[in-house]
Structure 1
Amino acid sequence: MTILVTGATANIGRKVVDHLLAQGATDIRALTNNRRKAALPAGVQVAEGSLRRPDTLPAAFAGVERMYLAPTPDSVTQVLALARAAGMRHVVDLSGEPESWWGSVCTAVDDSGLAWTHLWPGDFMENTLIWSHQIRATGAVREPRPNAASAPIAMDDIAAVAATALLTDAHLGRAYPLAGPEILSRTDLVRHLADALGRDIAFHRSSREDTVTALTPTMGDNATWYVDNVLTGFDPQPAALPITSVQDITGRPATTFAQWADDNAARFAAV
């Protein structure tokens, strides 16, 4: 059974390859447009191409039964048509509820005629890296809503879920909202980062404009969109978050934010 991992150079796709190997998969093909950057392990087939260039995909899709699908909304319909024509059977997609930012990917998979498993992650732990510049430069984080909360999930846990879903039929036709194991406020996240870094980090409640200014060095032109569309979506007490989802699917505990912060402290300290 050949499994294709798309986006194998990206943060989650590369980790999916590792989790498939750890779970005993032996016939893995990885799609990448940068073989050297992917640094794929020995024994993994490398297929050069990109989901954003569907004309590069037919050779990569040949003989593939299952695929991890990274989200590329602009080309997803063409990609799935090629996958079906190649005889692919099962797609595990990283997407979101139909009305969400990546909802068009979910809808396209639903309409493709292929068997599917949807993965719908919420806030990523890695999103806190947008604070790295201001933590280094000012020792503080500036945001407008200190009590806004989420249950952030580590990208490695998303990859573990994807690998599990690719290796069995048990998850066919299931849509999984994914979250981390704890509901944490923005100040909780800052506190864990301070503990990991061994230094004080202040949280300053700031205006929309000051928040955009603080985030621009790491986010560039996306800072305004993020403040207006993402930060406003976190509720003080989010209801019904699936905080046991990772353990329920993989059988292993999800990564806590404190663990993630310890493992990634150098990414906040280094220039």
Structure 2
Amino acid sequence: MTFLVTGATGSVGRLVVDRLRAAGAPVRALTKNPRKAALPADVEVIEGYLGELDTLPPALEGVERMYLAPLPGTVHDVVDMAKRAGVRRIVALSQIDADREAERDESEWHYHAIEKAVENSGLEWTCLRVGQFFINSLDWADQIKGDGAVKGAYGAATYAPIDLGDIAATAAATLLEDGHHGKKYMLTGPESLKRTDMVRIIGEVIGRDIRFVEQTREEAYKEMYDAGWGEAADWMLDLDARFTEHPEVALPTFERINGRGGTTFAEFIAGNADKLR
């Protein structure tokens, strides 16, 4: 049984490769740049990309189960090609707001388009809905190394962020094990944290007094826009406002599937402390 990992050098896909290898599964990796990928010798590497459909037939040949990276533009064609090639199970990476997307015009669908394609495929499918990642906190590194203050609006915005490795572990588990067909799993980390909590924890772990400096929305928007966010700054600030009013709750989904507790934020920071000092 061959497992295909698409987006195999992406932030999650690369870790899915490792998890499947650790379980002894034969892995085929789809990547645009095999040399740069430097994948282990026991991984079969195929040069290709979900957005370039003519590269997919050799990647899909003989594959029974597939991890699907989120690329909505070609997802319907990709799923159709996978079905015709004999793929039986797809685990797709999605996002917590997939249902909200469904309320908008179809031209604005991203994750909802991915979910709809796999749901309608007639194959076994599982969608992993994720939100904020721990790794996003490393974007504060320059501020922390500088004056030890993290600036931003909505310090009370409360998320239950998750480690990329825990997402990959769940993807591998749902690919390897039966019993997950037709499930849309909401994946969170093990704790709900305000942004101010995250900054405090970083300080405690690296042994420094790190402050959160509350900005107005306008101040935060200008800094984010100038830093390259563009109009996406408004989207992110809207999200922060929403999770200030309606805090995200940590769910037990990861533990139920994997049989262990998820990585804590403090554990993540301890493993990445050198990037913040």
- TM-score normalised by structure 1 residue count: 0.91
Q: Verify: 1:8 aligned to 2:16, yes or no.
A: no
Q: Where in structure 2 are the equivalents of 1:1-271 lying within 5 Å?
A: 1-25=1-25, 27-96=26-95, 97-100=98-101, 102-215=111-224, 219-221=228-230, 224-235=233-244, 238=247, 241-269=249-277
SS in 2 for 1:261: helix
Asked whether the equivalents of residues 92 and 127 of structure 2 are also in contact (C-alpha less than 8 Å), the reply is: yes
Query: For residues 121 and 50 of structure 1, what CA distance do their matches in structure 2 show?
Result: 23
SS in 1 for 2:185: strand
1:155-209, CA deviations, whole angstroms, 9 ceiling, x for partnerless residues? Answer: 1000000000111222112111000000111111001111233222111110123
Could you tell me which residue of structure 1 aligns to residue 107 of structure 2?
none
Structure 1 residues 225 and 81: CA distance shift in structure 2, 3 A = farther
Question: Shift in Å at residue 219 of structure 1?
Answer: 4.8
SS in 2 for 1:50: coil
Asked whether the equivalents of residues 211 and 227 of structure 1 are also in contact (C-alpha less than 8 Å), the reply is: no
**Overall identity of the aligned pairs, in %:** 45
The one-letter amino acid of 2:236's match is V
The one-letter amino acid of 2:216's match is S
1:208-261, CA deviations, whole angstroms, 9 ceiling, x for partnerless residues? Answer: 23213444576543652453343223135636x353221110112210000001
- With 37-46 and 255-264 compared, the bigger mean Cα shift is at 37-46
Structure 1 residues 188 and 35: CA distance shift in structure 2, 3 A = same
- With 94-103 and 75-84 compared, the bigger mean Cα shift is at 94-103
Instruction: Point out where structure 2 has 5 or more consecutive residues left out of the alignment.
Output: 102-109
Query: For residues 51 and 276 of structure 2, what CA distance do their matches in structure 1 show?
Result: 31
The one-letter amino acid of 2:164's match is M
Asked whether the equivalents of residues 132 and 218 of structure 1 are also in contact (C-alpha less than 8 Å), the reply is: no
Corresponding pairs, count: 267
The one-letter amino acid of 2:214's match is R
Asked whether the equivalents of residues 224 and 230 of structure 2 are also in contact (C-alpha less than 8 Å), the reply is: no
Instruction: Point out where structure 1 has 5 or more consecutive residues left out of the alignment.
Output: none
Could you tell me which residue of structure 1 aligns to residue 105 of structure 2?
none
Asked whether the equivalents of residues 152 and 180 of structure 1 are also in contact (C-alpha less than 8 Å), the reply is: yes
Structure 1 residues 138 and 78: CA distance shift in structure 2, 3 A = farther
Asked whether the equivalents of residues 205 and 270 of structure 2 are also in contact (C-alpha less than 8 Å), the reply is: yes
The one-letter amino acid of 1:30's match is A
Question: Shift in Å at residue 90 of structure 1?
Answer: 0.6
